[in-house]
Amino acid sequence: MTSNLFLRKVLGRLVRAVTISFWVMVISFLLIRLSPGDPAATRLGAGAEQEAVEALRKQLKLDVSPLEQFTSYTAGLFRGDLGVSLVNDVDVLETIRNTLPLTLTYIFLSVFFAFLISIPIATLIGWSNSASIVYSFRSITSVIIATPNFFIAMVGILLFSVQRDWAPVFGYVSEFPENLKYLWLPVSINTLILVAIISRVLQSSIVDTKSEEFVETGIIRGVGRTRFFFYYILKPSMAPTVVLLSYMMGTMLGATVILETIFSLPGIGRELVGAVLASDYPMVQGILLFFGVITVFLSFIGDLCAYALDRRVKI
Amino acid sequence: MKRIDTAAESSTRLQRIREWTALPGGFGIITGISMFLTITILGVIYPLISPYTSDEFVGDSFEPPSWAHPFGLDQLGRDVMTRTFAAVPADIGVAFLGVSIPLAIGTLIGIILGISKNKFFVSLVSSIIDGINAFPLLIIAIAMISFLGPGLFNVIIILTIMNWARYARIARTRAVVVLQQNYIEAAQLMGYSKRRIIFKHVTPNVSSESLAYALSDFILVIIIVSGLSFLGLAARPPAAEWGAMIADGRTYLGDAWWITIFPGVALCWSAISLSFIVEGLSRRDRGN
Amino acid sequence: MSNSLVSFKQLRIDVKVTRSRRLRIVDSATFDVEHGQLMGLIGESGSGKTMLCRSLIGTLGRRSAYIESGSVIFDGTNLVNATKSDWREIRGKKIGYIPQSALAGPNPVITIGDQLAEAINQGQKLDRETVHKRSIELLEMVQIRRPEIVLKQYSYQLSGGMKQRVMIACAIAQNPKLIVADEPTTGLDVTVQAEIMVLLKEIRKNLNTSIILVSHDLQLINSICDDVVVMHAGATVEKLPSEEIINALHPYTHALYNSRIDLVEPRGKLVTIKGQPPTVGAWPTGCRFADRCDFVQDKCLFGTQMELLKADTNHETACIRYDEVFLGAKK
């Protein structure tokens, strides 16, 4: 019975994720039709020859009816065919496969460090009853959250790359020990912002948890210190944080686009900006679709984790 | 006699303001509002009183801050201070439109979804909303620029097309809750017309929540507008815009930090002022 | 001293509001609870009953409250000076606690079995077999069917009444001498409320513990308690055997009794107590019920008299005019 309910909930949430993914696909298909005029002509510029424009229209499959376009687009997706870049004829899926690992690496690094730093901060501040400490904590974090990441990055570059030679301004080497030299500054900036976000949510949910009735019963039952902290304070407070994080996935992926561009890290975000600047439509469409689907599934996983932590969570 | 009266009145008003400020979050709200007003007013007034225009070459490139040019001159010899304040309409103005238009459209659609009895229509629109919301706003804005072309006007269009869905979701959830409340039932029993119920009872109760979200969304949208310009996808040179100015200064960061830092501070100033207001309001809401 | 199990004497509890502001929640609480007695504690919200309970389980500090003066003697120990290790010996072991809202009582992120095990272990480590056997036994005592299954469940899988039964099972795990039940039926259906009350009565009988049962619902607890203590505005105003309630000697108790909703014998008009209870901490001098009392006289408005006056062997009241108003009327 228990496992049945769990399974049903998870399946229900999965169905939702798949449905949303379908709409994500439709939207990324439709976007190219939004462009005023002919995308092929726009890309080739005013002086292009008629034949070249026609050829490009054919390549972009714009020469058939919209319904046919959609069916061939969908069919392509199921074959794993996201199209081919207009700039260098590389397969879009291949490009995603090459650029994604770096993006994921540094997102996971920053999330990991952010939790490592946030948990003690949030616990200590959640524990202190001093209004001035809580107030300054909330003010400082709200300042960090409101500051655009590219400005933080600029200040970081000014301090660590320009004034001291601690971080290379750009470039990247993918071998293990050297890549840390290029990664530490962007990861730290991302971590800083995440710490501000996570510790805020965690702190306020720790304060909420503290006043819960079950904490009182835990004290009375004489639960040991460590167990009390993990099972009566931290675990019940984690679920809201994880839910938030799963909502934030999209924003976080968006933020990587800017950081990757600034530090010229060859990740998927920089690839997107490059494709946009080069009007490489299949590439833009493919990466956009990928971003949409991955956001949907990351938030699916996030919701599952939250639900596994605390069954009160609605998914 | 009359004088005394007005004095008494003004003192009570002052007192009332003081009491209001003393409530939880009052300080944050006041600070935030004054910071925000400062930057918007300077944005309107400074370009008028400044001896220079935003795209006028007034001196040597990279002239450091001085009394004549408190924020220094940029790589082309333009006055950074004038440019910084001239950028207010491009950032705050565009962001304001990018929030208020989706707010109006989204709330309307959300309320319609909340009261509609047509299940097919509701579930169709709701899944489109979910689909749109699945995309990170910055990512889809970047992608759409490749089809629409760069420019601040296009940014407003993109925000209108993509951001309404978030408001629609909030308004729909809220409308469903509000419609179940007793006072709506009471209004129905009293025989009020449907339109009156929707405009007098449902809309005000729904929009309070949407407005609260809009305020924090304002911060996000300011960051997105400037971020797009930073990437070279929104405001185009020589337009004065903070993100674009920061991107301009980036190459000369080592020699001429002022080109980057002053627009950056203005940008942070605006976003932070709003976040103080948001923070203060939520403190007031929680009552501590 | 008497050999009562619990004895409150002139207890004062303050709450720190800001660094310099204090708010008095309980001003004068004086009453005893005997061994094996089921004591009802009744009062409106803000009368200080919850804080009084917290003084018995040592969690005043969590609400930044503290005992300003007076004493709470439990089983020979003055709880006012209890150290951390004293508390470890007392709460959970000698004093069980049933929380206010059944719905939020159990920890949502660990199983019922784990929580019962904590209550059984109380910091030490018993072997699994013993713990398991005792858990089953406890769940059977609180009349939960299929205890084996419940042990593996989380609180969200249980109904409100089941949750509260589990909380009772935790509270009695150590055969405590006293159980403090702070409005244990808040948020439960009326039928479930009655079941819980019956269960408490049964547990008192089987384990021979004392129970302090807090409620704002006079009717609910009057039927099962031995004695009732009435609190108003931070002070105990009357203590009387529950069957004496119709002969109450304090106008407030009378008002409470008359404002009850009688489902069995509806009396047509619903009587309410006029006015609002005084603001916590901003209590007037003299009798704190004076503003709302029908029998108020000038002498009620002065003095700081809050001691209970002995009216009968088991009956104490704080009303200085009790003999004129009530006994006089009876004659």
> According to the per-residue pLDDT averaged within each range, which of A36-45, B115-124, C216-225, C281-290 is highest?
B115-124
Average pLDDT over residues A283-307: 89
Mean pLDDT computed over every residue of chain B? 87
- Nearest one of B108, B59, B104 to B82, comparing CA atoms: B59
| Residue B184 confidence (pLDDT) | 79
| Residue B227 confidence (pLDDT) | 93
- Residue B179's pLDDT band, with cuts at 50, 70 and 90, is confident
| Residue A248 confidence (pLDDT) | 79
CATH fit for domain C6-106+158-330, picks 2.60.40.10, 3.40.50.300, 3.50.50.60, 3.40.50.1860: 3.40.50.300
Mean pLDDT computed over every residue of chain A? 85
Share of chain B above pLDDT 70, in %: 95
- Residue B2's pLDDT band, with cuts at 50, 70 and 90, is very low
Residues of B in contact with A27 (CB under 8 A): 131-132, 135
Q: How many residues does chain A have?
A: 315
Q: Are B62 and B252 in contact (CB under 8 A)?
A: yes
Q: Which residues, including other chains, have CB under 8 Å from residue C92's CB and lie 6 or more apart?
A: A220, A221, A222, C119, C122, C173, C174, C176
Share of chain A above pLDDT 90, in %: 27
Nearest CA in chain B to A20: B131
- Nearest one of B76, B268, C159, C123 to A219, comparing CA atoms: C123
Residues of B in contact with A39 (CB under 8 A): 147
| Residue C2 confidence (pLDDT) | 55
Of C99, C154, C157, the CB nearest to A217: C99
List A residues 121-180 in contact with B (Cβ-Cβ < 8 A).
138-139, 142-143, 145-148, 150-151, 154-155, 157-158, 162
ipTM of the complex: 0.87
The rounded distance, in Å, linking the Cα atoms of A191 and A208 is: 25
- Residue B155's pLDDT band, with cuts at 50, 70 and 90, is very high
Q: Are C91 and A222 in contact (CB under 8 A)?
A: yes
Rounded to the nearest angstrom, the minimum Cα separation between B107 and chain A is 21
| Residue B150 confidence (pLDDT) | 87
Residue to substitute from A1, A4, A220, A307, interface C, most C β-carbons within 10 A: A220
Nearest CA in chain A to B147: A35
When mean pLDDT is compared across B9-13, B24-28, C44-48, C131-135, the lowest value belongs to: B9-13
* pLDDT above 90 for B187: no
Of C91, C106, C152, the CB nearest to A214: C106
Share of chain B above pLDDT 90, in %: 42
Rounded to the nearest angstrom, the minimum Cα separation between A31 and chain C is 44
Q: Which amino acid makes up residue C215?
A: S
When mean pLDDT is compared across A191-195, B134-138, B236-240, C303-307, the lowest value belongs to: C303-307
Report CB contact under 8 Å: C104, A214: yes
Q: Write out the DSSP string of A250-265.
A: HHHHHHHHHHHHHTT-
Rounded to the nearest angstrom, the minimum Cα separation between B225 and chain A is 11
Q: Which residues, including other chains, have CB under 8 Å from residue A212's CB and lie 6 or more apart?
A: A236, C104
| Residue C46 confidence (pLDDT) | 75
Residue to substitute from A23, A62, A246, interface B, most B β-carbons within 10 A: A23
A230 touches C at CB < 8 Å: no
* Torsion sign, CA atoms A49, A54, A60, A66: positive
| Residue A189 confidence (pLDDT) | 93
**Subunits with at least 3 CB pairs below 8 A relative to chain A?**
B, C
Average pLDDT over residues A42-49: 73
Average pLDDT over residues A61-89: 82
Report CB contact under 8 Å: C156, A312: yes
- Nearest one of B194, B197, B137, B138 to B167, comparing CA atoms: B137
Residues of C in contact with A210 (CB under 8 A): 62
Do strands C95-98 and C316-317 pair parallel, antiparallel, or not at all (unpaired)?
A: unpaired
Residues of C in contact with A219 (CB under 8 A): 59, 62, 91
Rounded to the nearest angstrom, the minimum Cα separation between A16 and chain C is 24
* pLDDT above 80 for A277: yes
Rounded to the nearest angstrom, the minimum Cα separation between A239 and chain C is 10
> According to the per-residue pLDDT averaged within each range, which of A78-92, B9-23, C23-37, C126-140 is highest?
C126-140
Question: Where along chain C do its domains lie?
Answer: 6-106+158-330
**Which helix (DSSP H) or strand (DSSP E) does residue C53 occupy?**
helix C49-57
Q: Write out the DSSP string of B171-234.
A: HHHHHHHHHTSHHHHHHHHTT--HHHIIIIIIHHHHHHHHHHHHHHHHHHHHHHHHHHHHTTSS
| Residue C86 confidence (pLDDT) | 85
Report CB contact under 8 Å: A221, C92: yes
Residues of A in contact with B28 (CB under 8 A): 139
| Residue C326 confidence (pLDDT) | 67
The rounded distance, in Å, linking the Cα atoms of A303 and A58 is: 42
Report CB contact under 8 Å: A231, C109: yes
Mean pLDDT computed over every residue of chain C? 82
Query: In degrees rounded to 5, what are phi and psi of residue C74?
Result: -115, 115
* pLDDT above 70 for B9: no
Report CB contact under 8 Å: C107, A310: no
Report CB contact under 8 Å: A220, C91: yes
Report CB contact under 8 Å: B254, A162: yes
Residues of chain C with pLDDT under 50: 1, 330-331
| Residue B97 confidence (pLDDT) | 95
| Residue A53 confidence (pLDDT) | 80
**Which helix (DSSP H) or strand (DSSP E) does residue C38 occupy?**
strand C38-42
| Residue C288 confidence (pLDDT) | 80
**What letter would DSSP give residue C282?**
-
Three-state DSSP state, C62: helix
Q: Which residue has the tokens 């996570």?
A: A198
Average pLDDT over residues B193-208: 83
Report CB contact under 8 Å: C119, A213: no
* pLDDT above 80 for A62: no
CA of residue A260 relative to chain centroid, distance: 13
Residue to substitute from A132, A151, A154, A257, interface B, most B β-carbons within 10 A: A151
Of A2, A223, A231, the CB nearest to C157: A2
Three-state DSSP state, C314: coil
| Residue C331 confidence (pLDDT) | 41
Residue to substitute from C16, C88, C107, C148, interface A, most A β-carbons within 10 A: C107
Report CB contact under 8 Å: A157, B276: no
Report CB contact under 8 Å: A150, B230: yes
A231 touches C at CB < 8 Å: yes
